[in-house]
Structures are given as C-alpha cells and as structure tokens.
C-alpha cells in the first residue's frame, strides 16, 4: 500500500486540482502498463499494488515467479510521480502471504464495469492496516521516526540483499497481526537504502512515467 503524505494540508491550501489528479492517474496508467504482472488500484490518496506468485518445483510444471523486489522498484517510480505531479511525498507498507483465490486473474471486473474484486482474501491485507496503525502510534510515541518503507518481517526477509549486508541489524517493531497467533514485527527503512543493498542479480524494470 502506497499512501501520500500531506494530502489534508494540500486540500486546505487548494494546491490539489482535478488537472493534477488526472495527470497522476495517467502517470500511474503508464507505470501499470509496464508491469502487467502487478495490479494497481487507486482510491482516495492511497494506491494498492498487488501481484500473484507461484512457488515452482523441479517435479512439476509450476514455475517460480516470486519477485518481491519489483515492488520496491515500483515504489521508487511512484515516489517520483507523486513528487513531480502533486509535490507530495509517499510512504509504503509491504506484506506478503498466501491467497485464497487460486489460479484466478489479478483483478476481476464485472460485465457492468461497476464491481471490482482484487481476487484476494487473507492475512496480507489485514496486515497492511495493522502495520499502518502501529506505525502511526509508534511515531506519536517517538518510538521511531518517519520512514519511506515499513516492511512486514516475512516480506523483508524474502528480499534478495547483497551477501555482506546485515539485514538483521536493523531494529524491528512489534505489531498485532490479525489472524496470527504470535506477535509479528515490521522493519523501517528508507527506500534508497533498500535499493542500494539489493543483490546485483536483482534487475529493475524502469519506465518513463513523466511522458505527456
């Protein structure tokens, strides 16, 4: 989930216009076109991005498609878009988990075009909201500062970092994850720090989102 920062103040100051919001939508359209494996859903001042993935096995025809790093690269592009079009920064929360809609498309749109289903059910979406709530509480209590990324520990530990990067050295914070028995944790990080420490075999897929 990607959320814009300072929307309330921008609305009060009158710096958000329909023209800017249309430009934002068009820029996100272009980014989405370059990532057909990812679903983009925007609502209010937030954007939800989601992908399905499979775990392959040498004895089956199922391929291994899990690529969590692509989300970090997409967030980098979105950060540039929001700054360029709206003059606002963003933060993102990332989770991962199993999906109850097996072998379905990324998104379902009804024939009447007025029902959109993300074909998702389960822990990851509940975790997004739980982490967001915990982050706001922690910032107000000065337990940690503001960061660009808040990553559930399972997502964070699945990222392919450089061998010499000690990912466990970062502090982690507890949050109450719905539908999970034990306490869960999230990590805070700045976007560029994560990108700079990806393994060299992690490839980015860039797109010019600023074209007219």
Q: Give a yes or no: residue 208 inside a domain.
A: no
- Residue 101 — φ and ψ, nearest 5°? -95, 95
Contacts of 137 (CB under 8 A, 6+ apart): none
Alpha-helical (H) ranges within the chain are 7-13, 18-33, 69-85, 123-140, 153-158, 191-196
Cα separation, 126 vs 120, whole angstroms:
11
Q: Give a yes or no: residue 209 inside a domain.
A: no
What's the alpha-carbon Rg for the chain, to the nearest Å?
A: 18
Cα separation, 15 vs 96, whole angstroms:
35
Per-residue confidence (pLDDT) for residue 208, from 0 to 100 = 47
Q: Give a yes or no: residue 18 inside a domain.
A: yes
- Quick one: CA dihedral 12, 15, 19, 22, positive or negative? negative
Residue of higher predicted confidence among 209 and 192: 192
Residue 204: which pLDDT band, with cuts at 50, 70 and 90?
A: low
* Dihedral-angle region of residue 61 (phi above 0 means left; psi in -120 to 50 means alpha; beta otherwise): alpha
Q: Give a yes or no: residue 8 inside a domain.
A: yes
Q: Is the pLDDT confidence value at 205 over 70?
A: no
Cα separation, 96 vs 89, whole angstroms:
24
Residue 181: which pLDDT band, with cuts at 50, 70 and 90?
A: low
Cα separation, 84 vs 26, whole angstroms:
13
Q: Give a yes or no: residue 212 inside a domain.
A: no
Per-residue confidence (pLDDT) for residue 210, from 0 to 100 = 45
CATH number at residue 191: 3.30.70
Q: Is the pLDDT confidence value at 112 over 50?
A: yes
Cα separation, 204 vs 192, whole angstroms:
13
Per-residue confidence (pLDDT) for residue 201, from 0 to 100 = 85
**What global pTM score does this model have?**
0.88
Work out the mean pLDDT of the chain and round it to a whole number.
86
Q: Give a yes or no: residue 10 inside a domain.
A: yes
Per-residue confidence (pLDDT) for residue 55, from 0 to 100 = 65
Q: Is the pLDDT confidence value at 114 over 80?
A: yes
In the chain, the number of structural domains is 1
Cα separation, 68 vs 149, whole angstroms:
14
pLDDT tens-digit readout, 22-69? 999 999 999 999 998 899 999 878 899 988 887 655 565 656 678 899
Q: Give a yes or no: residue 205 inside a domain.
A: no
Residue of higher predicted confidence among 104 and 134: 134
Least confident of 11-20, 84-93, 149-158, 201-210: 201-210
Q: Is the pLDDT confidence value at 103 over 70?
A: no
Per-residue confidence (pLDDT) for residue 12, from 0 to 100 = 87
Residue 82: which pLDDT band, with cuts at 50, 70 and 90?
A: very high
Q: Give a yes or no: residue 201 inside a domain.
A: no
Give the domain extent around 106.
2-196
Residue 108: which pLDDT band, with cuts at 50, 70 and 90?
A: confident
């Amino acid at each position: 989930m990607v959320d814009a920062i300072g929307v309330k103040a921008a609305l009060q100051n009158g710096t958000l216009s329909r023209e800017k919001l249309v430009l934002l939508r068009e820029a996100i359209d272009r980014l989405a076109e370059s990532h057909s494996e990812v679903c983009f859903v925007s609502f209010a001042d937030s954007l939800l991005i989601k992908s399905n993935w499979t775990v392959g096995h040498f004895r089956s025809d199922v391929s291994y498609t899990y690529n969590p790093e692509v989300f970090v690269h997409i967030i980098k592009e979105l950060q540039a878009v929001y700054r360029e079009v709206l003059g606002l920064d963003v933060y993102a929360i990332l989770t991962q988990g199993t999906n109850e809609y097996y072998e379905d498309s990324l998104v379902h749109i009804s024939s009447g075009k007025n029902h959109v289903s993300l074909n998702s059910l389960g822990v990851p979406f509940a975790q997004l909201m739980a982490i967001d709530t915990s982050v706001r509480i922690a910032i107000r209590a000065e337990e940690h500062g503001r960061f660009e990324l808040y990553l559930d520990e399972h997502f964070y530990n699945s990222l392919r970092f450089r061998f010499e990067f000690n990912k466990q050295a970062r502090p982690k914070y507890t949050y109450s994850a719905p539908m999970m028995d034990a306490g869960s944790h999230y990590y805070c990080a700045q976007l560029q720090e994560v990108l700079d420490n990806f393994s060299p075999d992690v490839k980015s897929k860039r797109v010019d989102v600023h074209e007219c």
